[in-house]
A and B are shown apart, each in its own frame.
Chain A
Amino acid sequence: MSLRRLKAVLIDLSGTLHIEDAAVPGAQEALARLRKAPVAIKFVTNTTKECKRSLFERLHGLNFDLQEQEMFTSLSLDTSDPNAVVIGLAPEHFNYQTLNTAFRLILDGAPLIAIHKARYYKKKDGLALGPGPFVTGLEYATDTRATVVGKPEKDFFLEALRDLDCSPEEAVMIGDDARDDVGGAQSAGMLGILVKTGKYRAGDESKINPPPHLTCDSFPDGVNYILEHLLGS
């Protein structure tokens, strides 16, 4: 594969730059080095538990140098349709009663929309179920397919790159979720770098085809690779 002229770097947030309220070691400094390179940077996330502002404030509090307008979330693609069942990451709502309510609405014809289908995410004290399993369960119950608007949908990545004036072939995605971050980005035509922090588990790199362009220990290593290998003329 010929060396691509890199124009943009998409960076996942939860699990890649930080895990809840702790930064990945060295990530702030790595981000600062990446900013000196001639590339556009966007932060992409499926996080819907917190709104963009509070997520931004948390990252700022961890000394990450970023602007709110550099953040792209699935919520940006959300279309309000009161006749639809929309599922995001809201653990407190995934109880039997609300799931039954959603189930009956879908049987009556309401479309099922998933902000994303992450299987699980990393918390301080271990892994926790994401919305994906509940979306899958409802798909099975109703014999329908959900419309997914976030990662790993191709449109999500294309939309994130739209105002950066660059094609997917000129962009790279860094994330901790092999299927949703890296697999999704590569399906959209981008290069993918998988980091072994956050929700990463040994062997994840073999769960996607083609495998990640690079699998590395953490975000700083990913940045090193980009600066050394992807910015050549």
Chain B
Amino acid sequence: MADVCGLECLQGVKGVILDMCGVLYDSGEGGGTAIPGSVEALKRLTDSGLPLRFCTNETQNTRECFVCKLRVMGFNIRVEHVFSPAPAARAIMTERGLRPHLLVHPDLVAEFSGMDCNSPNCVVIGDAADQFSYKNLNQAFQVLIGLEQPVLLSLGQGRYYKETDGLKLDVGVFMKALEYACDVKAEVVGKPSTEFFRTVLRDMHLEPHQVMLKHTHPYLYTQVVMVGDDLVNDVGGAQRCGMKGLQVRTGKYRYVISD
């Protein structure tokens, strides 16, 4: 099926999904700083009337706290429009009767309050930052290696992200470490999981693209565009789901000159 090239393919866009860290703001000291121009750009996008949703693999905070931080920076965002991995993981665990051992940022623990964490039969790993100590990783490892059927849920699989004081290792690195140690494959919740993007699309009541006839040939017209700084998790994940991805050169984007 032919794909309409160039800007023509964006003419039918009916909705936009935005990544947050690296697109709207850079994380760092004091909660982070808005990327220059982003506050105004988001306002223009919101005023256009296009349905907007926000996808983040942010797992250092609950959604409520996270949106608060962004409002302080000047972004006008509604909590119910923000999709993050922790609530998605919680839903999965409830459905499958999983009791988690959490290796997550202390500020994220509240997203799992009320869950039975006794006799854990799975490990949930998020962006725990400084909590990624040998001791904590070892504890998570010991839980996993002791399970007959080890289940490792990873909230995202990013390699690194940009903070104001430089690049920092993301959850994917420690997910790979535990995968290697225990010979297991993690289940990734959040970007770039197709199921995660589909949840957002369902909330928007939109299909990622539409097939229309042009001169009797079927063509793909994009209906939803994803904007992100991470080629694999944002752009790649969105395009695998049938959306078009737009990559921004802010955040973790690195310009690599090939030989």
A residues with CB within 8 A of B: 91-92, 94-97, 99-100, 103-104, 107, 119-120, 126-130, 132-134, 136-141, 143, 207
Q: How many angstroms between the C-alpha atoms of A92 and B137 in the bound complex?
A: 12
Contact status B145-A99, CB under 8 Å: no
**Residues of the B chain whose Cβ atoms lie less than 8 Å from the Cβ of A136:** 176-177, 179-180
CB proximity of A63 to chain B, nearest CB, Å: 31
B residues with CB within 8 A of A: 129-134, 137-138, 141-142, 145, 159-160, 166-170, 172-174, 176-183
22 CB-based A-B contacts, threshold 8 Å: A91-B134, A91-B138, A95-B134, A96-B130, A99-B169, A99-B173, A103-B169, A104-B167, A119-B183, A120-B141, A127-B141, A129-B134, A129-B181, A132-B181, A133-B176, A133-B177, A136-B176, A136-B177, A137-B174, A137-B177, A143-B159, A207-B183
CB proximity of B253 to chain A, nearest CB, Å: 14
- Cβ 8 A contact of A127, one of B142, B173, B179, B180: B142
**Residues of the A chain whose Cβ atoms lie less than 8 Å from the Cβ of B178:** 133
Contact status A137-B134, CB under 8 Å: no
Residue of B nearest to A126 (CB): B142
**Residues of the A chain whose Cβ atoms lie less than 8 Å from the Cβ of B174:** 137
**Residues of the A chain whose Cβ atoms lie less than 8 Å from the Cβ of B183:** 119, 207
**Residues of the B chain whose Cβ atoms lie less than 8 Å from the Cβ of A100:** 166-169
Contact status B169-A137, CB under 8 Å: yes
Contact status A99-B167, CB under 8 Å: no
Q: How many angstroms between the C-alpha atoms of A104 and B160 in the bound complex?
A: 10
CB proximity of A200 to chain B, nearest CB, Å: 13
Residue of A nearest to B131 (CB): A96
- Cβ 8 A contact of A140, one of B130, B131, B137, B172: B172
- Cβ 8 A contact of B173, one of A104, A129, A130, A141: A141
- Cβ 8 A contact of B138, one of A97, A129, A140: A129
Q: How many angstroms between the C-alpha atoms of A100 and B84 in the bound complex?
A: 25
**Residues of the B chain whose Cβ atoms lie less than 8 Å from the Cβ of A107:** 167
A104-B167, A127-B142, A127-B145 known; A141-B134 Cβ under 8 A: no
**Residues of the B chain whose Cβ atoms lie less than 8 Å from the Cβ of A129:** 134, 137-138, 141, 177, 181
**Residues of the A chain whose Cβ atoms lie less than 8 Å from the Cβ of B142:** 126-127
CB proximity of B176 to chain A, nearest CB, Å: 4
CB proximity of B147 to chain A, nearest CB, Å: 13
Q: How many angstroms between the C-alpha atoms of A127 and B141 in the bound complex?
A: 9
CB proximity of B95 to chain A, nearest CB, Å: 29
Residue of A nearest to B157 (CB): A140
Contact status B180-A119, CB under 8 Å: yes
Contact status B145-A120, CB under 8 Å: yes
CB proximity of A72 to chain B, nearest CB, Å: 26
Known: A128-B141, A140-B159, A141-B160. 17 other contacts (CB 8 A): A100-B166, A100-B169, A103-B160, A119-B182, A129-B138, A130-B181, A132-B180, A132-B181, A133-B137, A133-B177, A136-B177, A136-B180, A137-B169, A138-B173, A139-B176, A141-B159, A141-B172
CB proximity of A15 to chain B, nearest CB, Å: 15
Contact status A137-B173, CB under 8 Å: yes
Of B134, B174, B176, B178, the most chain A CB neighbours within 10 A belong to B134
Contact status A96-B177, CB under 8 Å: no
CB proximity of B186 to chain A, nearest CB, Å: 12
Contact status A119-B132, CB under 8 Å: no
**Residues of the A chain whose Cβ atoms lie less than 8 Å from the Cβ of B134:** 91-92, 94-95, 129
Contact status B132-A95, CB under 8 Å: yes
- Cβ 8 A contact of B167, one of A103, A138, A207: A103
Q: How many angstroms between the C-alpha atoms of A210 and B53 in the bound complex?
A: 52
A129-B134, A133-B181 known; A140-B129 Cβ under 8 A: no
CB proximity of B106 to chain A, nearest CB, Å: 14
**Residues of the A chain whose Cβ atoms lie less than 8 Å from the Cβ of B182:** 119
Of A136, A138, A140, the most chain B CB neighbours within 10 A belong to A140
Contact status A133-B180, CB under 8 Å: yes
CB proximity of A113 to chain B, nearest CB, Å: 17
CB proximity of B156 to chain A, nearest CB, Å: 13
CB proximity of B170 to chain A, nearest CB, Å: 8
A96-B130, A120-B145, A126-B142 known; A134-B177 Cβ under 8 A: yes
**Residues of the B chain whose Cβ atoms lie less than 8 Å from the Cβ of A95:** 130, 132-134
